[in-house]
Structure formats: structure tokens, C-alpha cells
Amino acid sequence: MTHLQTVEEQGVKKQERLIVELSPVGYHKAPSIDQVGEWLEHMLTGLKHWHSLAYCHGDVSWRNIVFVPTERNGDYWMLIDLDKSHVSNTTVIEWSHRHQGQKLRMEHDLSQLGGLMETLPFTLPANMKSMQEILLTAIDTSGLTANAALTKLGAFLR
């Protein structure tokens, strides 16, 4: 899903107004120390699906992550701003990015996710610190996928 809201075309008779009120479905929220494993699982799951379509997000940052509280299925985090994604290995990174000048690959998304973990306001538990190292070195370890990272995360969370 690339947008937080879906708007459908509505027919309006001439001289009538249609007022549409949009309300947010989520908000920005970093995980707590107890939620970091769940947050990482949600982010890696989103990246796994996006990468399966051959796309890289390119800007995995806090401004592009939304926490969605729900009553029915449990709360979750979701990656947004997918409309600026690029097909893997086709675009040179020309925006503010620590890998500027390189071709954007899926491993960049994983590395950015590891970078976000560095900004959390608490010391990561040992298992999450290990996951962070795996993600941060994704650029150097060609072949790490979001799916493989999810498998490693599952082993760490058991």
C-alpha cells in the first residue's frame, strides 16, 4: 500500500458540494525496548514484500514509518512513501544518503533499517544488537535479503 488513505471517485451533482474529511490511520512512534523485535519484524516483512516486486524503498527513515493502532488485529508498524521507490540496481543514489553515488540495491534498505536501530533511545538487548550488526553490514554482505533477515530475527526471538 503506498498511501495511508484510499480515496475513490465520487459523483457529485452540479451545484452540490462534496466535503471529504480525511483522518490519519496511524502516527509516528518509535518502538519501546519491549517492542523493538516486533517493530523489526513488521519492517522486514514490508521490505520482503516490496523487494519481491524488485523495488527498493531507498528512504527507510522514521518519517516513512507509521504506527497503526487497531482494535481487531493488533497494532502494527508500516512503511510508507513507497511511491518514490526504484527498481533495484537501476538508480544511482543522488540524494542525501550515506551511500551516495552507489547504485541503489535492496541491501541499502536493510542497512538503513539497521541505522534506525542506532537512533533508538535505549541500549538494544544482545539479540537485537546482533540483528542490527547483520543489517548494518548488508551492503558488504551481498545477498542478504529481507526474508533471510526475517529468518534470523525469528531465531533471535525464540
pLDDT digits (tens, 9 = 90+) for 39-96: 999 999 999 999 999 999 999 999 999 999 988 878 999 999 888 899 998 989 887 6
Question: 37-157: CATH homologous superfamily?
Answer: Transferase(Phosphotransferase) domain 1 (1.10.510.10)
Q: What is the pTM of this model?
A: 0.82
> Would you call 91 helix, strand, or coil by DSSP?
coil
**pLDDT confidence of residue 84:** 83
Cβ pair 45, 150 in contact under 8 A: yes
- The predicted pLDDT at position 120 comes to 98
- Which run of H or of E encompasses 78? strand 76-79
Phi and psi for 16 in degrees, rounded to 5?
Answer: -115, 150
Residue showing cell 533471510: 148
Going from N- to C-terminal start, the domains of the chain cover 37-157
Q: How many distinct helices (H) and strands (E) make up the chain?
A: 4, 4
Give percent of the chain above pLDDT 90: 64
